[in-house]
Structure 1
Amino acid sequence: MDQTLDSYIDAMAALFGLPIAPEWKPAIRTNLDVTLRMARLVDEFPLPDEIEQANVYVA
């Protein structure tokens, strides 16, 4: 997975024109890995078909 994340980081940095120092890559990879694990938890949470959207509150 590290190589996949490294490739993704490199591709997104190139797309946005962001220079990334090599010493920052491990921290970026760790942050992205944690973010993906949290997203998987949300994505895998079962919701019943009858669920309704929450109201939108505007302050």
Structure 2
Amino acid sequence: MTEPAFDAESHVRAMTASLGLTVEPAWMPEVVAHLAAIRAAAQLVERFALADEAEPAPIFEAGR
């Protein structure tokens, strides 16, 4: 099954309305572009196959 196309601009408009935020019209293309980039990055993470037995890495503590 194919995933429906992601319309970043519609999503930004819906979320700003829902949250009561205002995006200046001059900034809308940049906000939409950033949301689209974030979505693309999230898709890379979601599609990365992990084995069921994979464990999270231990906590990194600098200086040890």
Q: What aligned pairs does 1:31-46 form with structure 2 within 5 A after superposition?
A: 31-46=34-49
TM-aligned CA deviation for residue 52 of structure 1:
2.2
Unaligned residue ranges in structure 1 (runs of 5+): none
TM normalised by structure 1 equals 0.78
Which residue of 1 is the match for residue 50 of structure 2?
Answer: 47
- Aligned-residue sequence identity (percent) comes to 34
**CA RMSD, aligned part only?**
1.9
Aligned match for 1:5, one of 8, 15, 20: 8
Alpha-carbon distance in structure 2 between the residues aligned to 1:55 and 1:15: 38
Unaligned residue ranges in structure 2 (runs of 5+): none
Structure ranking higher in helix proportion: 1
